Amino acid sequence: MKSIVTLFTALALAASPIGTAGAAAQDPQSRSASGKAKAKVKAKAKPGKASSRERVAAKSRRVVKTAPAAAAIDYDGEHSNFLEWQAMREFIEEMVSKHHFERAELESLFGQARFIDSAVQLVKPMPRGKPKNWQVYSSRFIEPIRIKAGVRFWEDNAATLARAEAAYGVPAEIIVGIIGVETIYGRDTGKFRVIDTLATLAFGYPETPNRAKRMAFFRDELANTLLLAREHHIEPFSLLGSFAGAIGMPQFMPGSILKFAVDFNGDGQIDLRNSTDDAIGSVANFLVQHGWNPAYRDAPAWPAEVAPHRAWEPLLERGLAATLRLEELRAAGVQVNGGVPAERLYGLIDLQNGTRPTEYWVANDNFFAITKYNRSYFYAMSVIDLGKAVSRARAR
């Protein structure tokens, strides 16, 4: 990638306090990196000498002279001596031996890191017993503010969206849906220092059944952040993102920036915070790289009816992939409403509505490509529905 350094200098900019974090676009099924609404807590001001965040901002201005000063963070972070943690010492040792970091520099860096308890609380699963409710979840995203902002975003970026659709085969309304659900079109890209949140979640993830897997994920992302910051001479504490470390308008994790972000405006830089062109192109590229099929130009999902004998229930356990032929679905008692192409593979999905009847849908590869952005049926359907709502509003 060309000059990704500009991406990180741009990330030193302040994020707007409006709306919800992109990483908060989780339903009760999935609460990974990208849950709950972002914590809105204020940093404690210390009288007298400059605070640690002010010293970091000043250092950032020295290291990256062309970047604006990093914004003051707005959350309470407890200073924690991560260096006393065995897992952190092992991580530092690996970064030294495998990636040739200077041990003293990493010890200095993590000596300044904060433990973000709000991040720990936000990644905890919902309490058991509370029923999932698709209609309640959907109402958070398919609402007037997002739709109005989506129309404006589409109008302002119509040419770029059309170019992305031509280049990648991803419809404009899907790209608009994702960016709208994630950050309300860049209005809330996150204010947490990425180093703090990733260190917290890599080594202090709450006790959950998938704790080891999630800690490994955040540990890898912490390593990605350090590698990128070193290569491009960026002050690590200038990187701001969601409570789970997601960055920019489309809320990419650091590893996804390396793998899937693109310079879609051709200026030799990748800037997911300020360049709508790069954000649009990067979302489209991510979807294609995760199974979006440009040849499918119809809907990603169709409503379905299920038979009362419930022979179809095992088909719900096939994971986030289209693996079933239409005749298999029909044989199990699934009736699809609409002209569904018979030659493709599908998956059966359920959208639970609390005490009301569950909605059932049959989905193709493109639906499941959206779930790779966020591993949730609720999320993917909200993206689709928001895109459609914006498209309808734009046509009025």
Alpha helix stretches (DSSP H) within the chain: 5-10, 52-63, 86-99, 103-111, 117-122, 134-139, 144-156, 158-168, 172-183, 194-203, 211-231, 254-260, 276-289, 326-331, 365-371, 377-395
Residue positions counted in the chain: 396
Give the three-class secondary structure for 240.
strand
Residue indicated by tokens 């609402």: 143
Q: What are phi and psi of 146, to 5 degrees?
A: -65, -40
> CA-CA distance, 127 to 358, in Å (whole number)?
20
- Assess contact for 11 and 60: CB atoms under 8 A: no
* Catalytic residue check, 182: yes
- Assess contact for 287 and 250: CB atoms under 8 A: no
165, 173, 182, 221: which one is catalytic? 182
Terminal C-alpha separation, the chain:
40
> CA-CA distance, 178 to 184, in Å (whole number)?
9
> CA-CA distance, 186 to 182, in Å (whole number)?
8
Reading phi first (left if > 0) and then psi (alpha if -120 to 50, else beta), residue 272 is in alpha
Which residue from 190, 215, 196 is spatially nearest to 77, judged by alpha carbons?
A: 196
Which residue from 384, 292, 294, 298 is spatially nearest to 339, judged by alpha carbons?
A: 298
User: Taking the mean position of all CA atoms in its chain, how far away is CA 33?
Assistant: 6
Which residue from 248, 298, 245 is spatially nearest to 269, judged by alpha carbons?
A: 248
- Assess contact for 76 and 200: CB atoms under 8 A: no
Instruction: Tell me the catalytic residues.
Output: 182
